[in-house]
């Protein structure tokens, strides 16, 4: 009997993956699904799955951090929304990755690969591989305004936010630019060490934070620069991850 752990912070993606695995391998057991580094580590401290499907970008950071906190003995199949060439380094070490959205044919392929490798442990040099992998993050955004093209360095962006179903960039100098991408898509292109999505409408650069205060209902109120028109609140479900992001 094969026991599978799914680490995925997007609920629809997790549900779809469970369905795909169940359809192809109805005799396999889905042990649990987890959406963060912290909860995954807690689970793995007392449980030993036979196979893990692991999203790279989680609510509280990149899943590579899990390997720094606990030794994983079973094969891991990474999932990602980005065709980052560096991730291919895993393939030469008996691992694999799936590019979202994941077709059934790819699930079938990696399951076959897993069966062929059953009993093999994660390579001993996995930590070295992880340290050498540098996920490429977006460094600039190209903005179209009328007939003009403006290139904005990511390091000059204080925050991204949505307003009336549109996305905007606010630079550290206070300039505002429209962006033809959703915050969900933008979030996956950013370095999670520098940017954090504090709520449904805001992705914040750590350098923009001036003050953090307690707010009612277990939330946090932030003073950021440049000052936005609306109060900046860290949603209650994000507070724990936000504190970890800050180094708590």
Residue-wise pLDDT tens digits, 126-175: 555 555 544 567 889 999 888 788 999 999 999 999 998 899 999 999 99
Least Cα distance to 159 among 139, 186, 180, 185 occurs for: 186
Beta strand 51-55 with 29-34: parallel, antiparallel or unpaired? Answer: unpaired
Torsions phi, psi for 127 (to 5 deg): -65, -35
**Domain 140-245 in this protein, CATH class:** mainly beta
Residue-wise pLDDT tens digits, 36-79: 999 999 999 999 999 999 998 887 888 888 888 888 888 888 88
Q: Do domains 3-132 and 140-245 have the same CATH topology?
A: no
Indicate the domain borders of the chain: 3-132, 140-245
Mean pLDDT of 20-49: 93
pLDDT at 118 (0 to 100): 67
Is the N-terminal amide bond of 37 cis, ω within 30° of 0?
Answer: no
The residue assigned the tokens 């060439």 is: 85
- Per-residue pLDDT band for 179 (boundaries 50, 70, 90) equals very high
Q: Which residues contact 234 (CB under 8 A, 6 or more apart)?
A: 198, 199, 215, 219, 220, 221, 222, 242
Mean pLDDT of the chain: 85
Domain boundaries 3-132, corresponding CATH code: 3.40.50.2300
Residue 184, number of CB atoms within 10 A of its CB: 14
The CA distance from 121 to 224, in Å, is 46
Beta strand 148-153 with 140-145: parallel, antiparallel or unpaired? Answer: antiparallel
């Amino acid at each position: 009997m094969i026991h599978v752990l799914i680490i995925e912070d997007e609920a629809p993606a997790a549900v779809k993956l469970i369905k795909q695995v169940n359809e192809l391998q109805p005799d396999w057991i889905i042990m649990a699904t987890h959406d963060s580094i912290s909860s995954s580590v807690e689970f793995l401290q007392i449980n030993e799955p036979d196979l893990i499907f692991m999203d790279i970008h989680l609510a509280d950071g990149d899943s590579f951090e899990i390997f720094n906190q606990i030794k994983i003995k079973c094969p891991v199949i990474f999932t990602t929304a980005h065709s980052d060439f560096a991730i291919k380094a895993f393939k030469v070490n008996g691992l694999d990755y799936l590019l979202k959205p994941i077709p059934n044919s790819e699930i079938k392929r990696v399951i076959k690969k897993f069966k062929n490798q059953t009993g093999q442990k994660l390579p001993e040099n996995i930590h070295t591989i992880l340290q050498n992998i540098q996920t490429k993050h977006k460094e600039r955004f190209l903005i179209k305004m009328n007939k003009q093209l403006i290139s904005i360095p990511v390091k000059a962006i204080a925050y991204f936010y949505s307003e009336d179903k549109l996305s905007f960039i606010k630079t550290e100098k206070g300039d505002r630019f429209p962006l033809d991408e959703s915050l969900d898509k933008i979030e996956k292109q950013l370095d999670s060490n520098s940017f954090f999505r504090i709520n449904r409408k805001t992705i914040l650069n750590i350098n923009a934070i001036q003050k953090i205060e307690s707010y009612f209902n277990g939330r946090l109120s932030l003073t950021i620069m440049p000052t936005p028109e609306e109060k900046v609140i860290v949603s209650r479900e994000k507070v724990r991850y936000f504190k970890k992001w800050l180094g708590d």
